[in-house]
Amino acid sequence: MNQQRRKLLKYSAIFGLMASVGLITESQAAEWNKSAFEGKSLEDVFKVLNTATPEKSAAITFNTPDIAENGAVVPISISSSLKVEQMAVLVDKNPNTLAAHFFFPTGTEPFVTSRIKMAQTSNVYALVKAEGKWLMVVKEIKVTLGGCGG
């Protein structure tokens, strides 16, 4: 069995056990990084992440469609050649700017694939924190059918 898969299963089991015995409650998990997800603008989220506007980097690979037919399910993937600590996805024109935030333990391969919601055509930012510094890649995604109630 793949070593990464074993680690994932191991940590999933540990987290599940901690939740079942009450060491981690649902309210604690919901409040975790709550202020970042409540940010209404890029500046709000940057402030919570303790950074000014991150500089652009060629060391980040950000794959998205140029045109999303349905804003409710826009596929994205982010990877990097850096030693990544965190990744975040921000959608400029969404009601809440931060769409996703991921943390990477040391030695983990920095790769994420997910689906995000987009209210309308907007710039989407892939942020990567490596060696204590935030970097980013920006891409405009055109949405033909809005996903946030539209």
pLDDT at 38: 75
28 and 38, same domain (yes or no): no
| Secondary structure (DSSP) of 89-138 | EEETTSSSSEEEEEE--TT---EEEEEE--SSSEEEEEEEEETTEEEEEE
Helix (H) or strand (E) segment spanning residue 17: helix 3-20
pLDDT at 15: 66
Q: How many domains does the chain have?
A: 2
pLDDT at 146: 61
Total Cβ atoms within 10 A of residue 56:
10
CB-hemisphere CA count at 13 Å for 131?
A: 5
Domain that holds residue 18: 1-32
122 and 76, same domain (yes or no): yes
What separation in angstroms does the CA of 94 have from each of 63, 90, 91, 99, 103?
19, 9, 6, 8, 22
Domain CATH for 120: 2.60.40.2470
For residue 41, give the DSSP letter. S
Mean per-residue pLDDT, 17-45: 64
pTM exceeds 0.85, yes or no = no
**Tokens read off for 18:** 């901690």
Task: Please determine, for residue 134, whether its predicted confidence score (pLDDT) is greater than 90.
Answer: yes
pLDDT band at 27 (very low <50, low <70, confident <90, very high): very low
26 inside domain = yes
11 and 73, same domain (yes or no): no
148 inside domain = no
CA-closest candidate to residue 64, choices 100, 136, 115, 130:
115
149 inside domain = no
Task: Please determine, for residue 81, whether its predicted confidence score (pLDDT) is greater than 80.
Answer: yes
CA-closest candidate to residue 101, choices 28, 36, 38, 48:
36
19 and 45, same domain (yes or no): no
pLDDT at 23: 57
56 and 72, same domain (yes or no): yes
134 and 89, same domain (yes or no): yes
* Mean of all residue pLDDT scores within the chain: 82
pLDDT at 28: 44
The answer to whether 90 and 83 are in contact (CB under 8 A) is no
7 inside domain = yes
Q: Compute the distance between CA of residue 143 and CA of residue 11 in angstroms, rounded to an integer.
A: 37
